[in-house]
Structure 1
């Protein structure tokens, strides 16, 4: 954990981060745990508000992070390379921001010291998602781009 005491480690290039520092970049929004639909004709990725069954909707945290890939085989382990390549990471995502060489938002806990700031900014899934266990047909849960606040936490 000493590596997390390194001043502003999150400003380093993502390739220079240790695994612990990389994991610490996560702002805890839970949006990467929402199911997406890919249009077979266009390849467009369409967002939904349907969460993986492991996502705890009251905290926006994975209920079994350590074993998630065994329990949910299509769960993606986000890497430095993937952070640059996957088109569905939200514009607010710390991994995406740092992969693009951009700074973290002021509400990110590494910047402000408040783990709940992401929720207060309205950027997380809390109060906005439904578990896949309860959702029914995923096509009934497509969300528009303005469903999520912009980078500053302002709903469009």
Structure 2
């Protein structure tokens, strides 16, 4: 008898428990980088500037439970809102599960380690700039947050 499929392969996002939903976040921090949207063309530009609450070492929110009190425009991700969001990274587990795709090897639910997201180059560790030190966001526009991470480090 084979092992039961993991929850992300057998449940859609709406059917997940809160704990399952929260565990889908791989801790890459890419969604916590500031984005710029052109008012005329609606074109999206990613920056390397992190939200003030993002811990640049762990790549996790330093006050997740109260984040919206500190950052009112922080988006609370839900299955319903997910379809309308165009700025999540292509490797985002919420996006992958919604598209019927599997999680990458470095996702903590697959690897069993929170460090593999950093080892793979998927996280913002070592690449993001603190909001308070950044100055103009336009000076920090980068492509990598909107691209699939390099898959060079396997760490298996």
After TM superposition, the score normalised by the length of structure 2 is 0.89
Match of 1:3 in 2: none
Q: Which residue of 2 aligns with 1:153?
A: 151
Instruction: State how far apart, in whole Å, the 2-side matches of 1:103 and 1:84 are.
Output: 18
1:5-84 aligned at under 5 Å gives the runs 8-11=6-9, 12-84=11-83
Kept in 2: contact 1:34–1:48 (CA 8 A): yes
Report the secondary structure of 2:142's partner residue: coil
Q: Give the secondary structure class of the aligned counterpart of 1:48.
A: strand
SS state at 1:55 partner: coil
**In 1, distance between residues paired with 2:143 and 2:111?**
29
Runs ≥4 in structure 1, deviation > 3 angstroms?
Answer: none
> What whole-Å deviation, never above 9, does each CA across 1:68-90 have from its counterpart, x for those lacking one?
00110000000012222201000
* Structure 2 unmatched ranges of 5 or more: none
The answer on whether the counterparts of 2:82 and 2:95 sit within 8 Å (CA) in structure 1 is yes
- Asked if the contact 2:51/2:131 (under 8 Å) is kept, the reply is yes
Against the structure 1 CA distance between its residues 88 and 149, is the aligned structure 2 distance closer, same or farther, given a 3 Å change threshold?
closer
Using the alignment, how far apart are the partners of 1:131 and 1:151 within structure 2? 21
1:39-76 CA-partner distances (Å, limit 9, x unpaired): 11111111000000000001101010010001100000
Alpha carbons of structure 1 residues 77 and 31: separation in structure 2 relative to 1, 3 Å: same
d(CA) in 2 for partners of 1:85, 1:148: 16
**Match of residue 90 from structure 1:** 89
Q: Select the structure with the greater relative contact order (CA < 8 A; seq sep ≥ 6).
A: 2
C-alpha distance in 1 between matches for 2:143 and 2:27: 21
Contact 1:105 1:152 (C-alpha < 8 Å) held by counterparts: no
For structure 1, the 5+ residue unaligned runs are: 1-5
Whole-angstrom distance in 2 between the partners of 1:88 and 1:75: 13
